[in-house]
Structure 1
């Protein structure tokens, strides 16, 4: 049994998949298996993976979906095939830092079920900046789930390692909108202890064509996401969690608004933003303001002044991420 199973979902990733694979091969801790699940690529991704698999022997296993189903289903195929004590995820356009696995495993003890690292954000111009957890150290699983819903900790899977036995029957939901958010909150709510580290373990590459930046989620997808997040913490509902859920809902609709601002034609952006604000009540925005002031202020400004907000966020996305609106 390998110490870590690393799962990569890939679709039309010929430009970046070699970099991703090599970042796992370069780990200072070499007790790992790498599972890359091709989601019906139509470019040269499969040929590249087959060549890499030949050179790496049994260390790299190439799996595939029967139809293009999105990263959630591809990752689930990887989970079914994984045999490691710990499970890690890597997007096909990102890369692990060389000591990621060694550093994160060294930080665990017998009660740690999830460990999360900081990450380097690489903008489209190649510049890097460090993003660390807002709070480092240990949280209980319930505390970590609430903090994640409240946008106080990251909701990604690619900056974490999950103890396999703690997520044995957990799978990504069949959605194409923030499926990693639902998986993460569900996994955290089961965990005994979650440990957050200040050291970076991954480079996250901003790409205007990625699912994060290049696609605008539908209202139905977003409503489904909000419902699934509530279900993920149904056993731990209290006043703190309720405020966190309101914050999470606010963040979800802000995210859709932001996607539209950066991806939709200029003539459609304000109507798109207005549609998002109609999904948020002032009560939810006030709850978000109490839990995460920046999100609450952003949502309030967006609801009151959708046009100026769209202009301001477009300028922010261009300056910080290099994504042109």
Structure 2
């Protein structure tokens, strides 16, 4: 009932232990607190909270318009509804190194298990769009060092995301991405998120280059091929995310339902596509609230 029984500290420790096992952890993207609870119910390992989804939820493009308070607030709402650890997209850290430090402590306060800080310039862009630019390696490293210095819980996972592969085309692009990843590990990153890898072989090269957990982003309609969880596990990846997939599916279904309302004036033919009310009540643990009310209000006022 209400919120997670597992504390933020316990979630962070559990995530660290699972990462140390070397297995591949599956983190679908939650677009709201209820979807996070469904991700847990379906047996996944964690919840991913995408910056693109948070922006889209506000009707905004993913171009750095969201603020730290908006991201931390929504992250807290999602993370507290599940026993699973949540990793959140912290963009570029919302400013200079001191802002990055504040970001980390705000996300710790929000109950998040970890985050990633990227090396794009401000304002950032979606990692799979053209026209991005990255900061120099010293600036990127300062962001990570600030994040590491600021955290109070040593188990809070600080992941460095590098977008340099998408900005460095040609045969040397992957080598440049590997060098950037190594520099970010040297700066203290606990894990690396190499964005926009083109092929499975590129992921394999990155896996062989750094000795920290690696995340694979399997976002649709982007620059990376859509590999299966098993393919990624076979080459030693540690986390796979599907950041926007659940939102895309939900919005696609909503669009089709609205078309049906326009065409037919009712949704009787789409009932089998809907979450049944009984399933919703079960997911939100409606019965536990009912039991709580009955236990609290089981007295009579003396007259």
Between structures 1 and 2, the one with greater strand share: 1
TM-score normalised by length of structure 2: 0.31
Q: Which structure exhibits the higher relative contact order, with contacts defined as CA atoms closer than 8 Å and separated by 6 or more residues?
A: 2
Higher Cα Rg, which structure: 2
TM-score normalised by length of structure 1: 0.30
